[in-house]
Amino acid sequence: MRIAIYGNSYQDQHLVELARFLQELAGLNVWVEMEASFFNYLCRALGEPPIVNDVIHGHDFSAALALSVGGDGTFLRTAGWVADKGIPILGINTGHLGYLAAVPVEKALDMVKEVIDDRCRIESRSLLAVEIPGRAIDTWPYALNEVAILKDDTASMITVDAHIDQHPLATYMADGLIVSTPTGSTGYNLSVGGPIIEPTATNWVISPIAAHSLTMRPLVVNNQSVIELRTEARASQSYRVSLDGRSLTLPTGTPLRLSLAPFSIRVVQPHDHYFTSTLRKKLYWGVDPR
């Protein structure tokens, strides 16, 4: 099996575990490749090269499994690294909460063995595709969590005119607007009062940020819908668009088109790991503190 590893450079508290994991991984008779910047970081942090077979430069690689070492932000960047290759991603959590990166580093080897023995589950997660008609986007134009339309710091409010499948939906007067995938529903969407969606559901959630009208509530729509947005702002000539935290600044009036991406991200889950258990463990869902 060929395994590709991507990680962040905030592993100082986990260096011993990571070095042990890589050594044990080599004992499984698998071919291990590591993304170049993570490899260079570990070389400096460990004082010697980590045990890998090769180093990956850029996005031109293939593997049977990708490991994301970090938190959920690292998992989102790993998704962009893997892109449309169809490689399943296993999230190894060395961060904080860890919805996507759900496997503790001390259990990483056991989880890789489950993958090798075909004892795991692989879930397909949908992505939002973002288009600006008539121009290119200066970043990976997909979002696994959400696309957020945000006001500039100088703007008091923005107006977002929204259409679904070319039919008028609403004109949102707010601090911003979030279009979330089911995967991202427990993130930014949840913080503004949006609903939690089961991660493999075929829906999007449209949630305003600090709407200036009580009639503007989060809305669940089918993910086959095409969402068109046009943003205006009285106090600014620009607005911001965030794709999983990757920010763009666009002139007001620039239209956006959001639709279902032509590929999905495959997420490796332990055989006994389910969304309901994640809710109970991470969000204390249904827990009575009395």
Active centre residues (catalytic): 72
| H and E: helices and strands count for the chain | 6, 20
Distance CA 214, CA 245 (A): 28
Q: Which residue type is seen at 59?
A: H
Gap between the Cα atoms of 213 and 107, Å rounded: 48
Tell me the C-alpha distance between 46 and 38, whole Å.
Answer: 12
Q: Report the C-alpha gap between 186 and 165 in whole angstroms.
A: 26
Q: At what angle are helices 108-116 and 15-26 packed, to 10 degrees? A: 30
Tokens at 142, concatenated: 């997909």
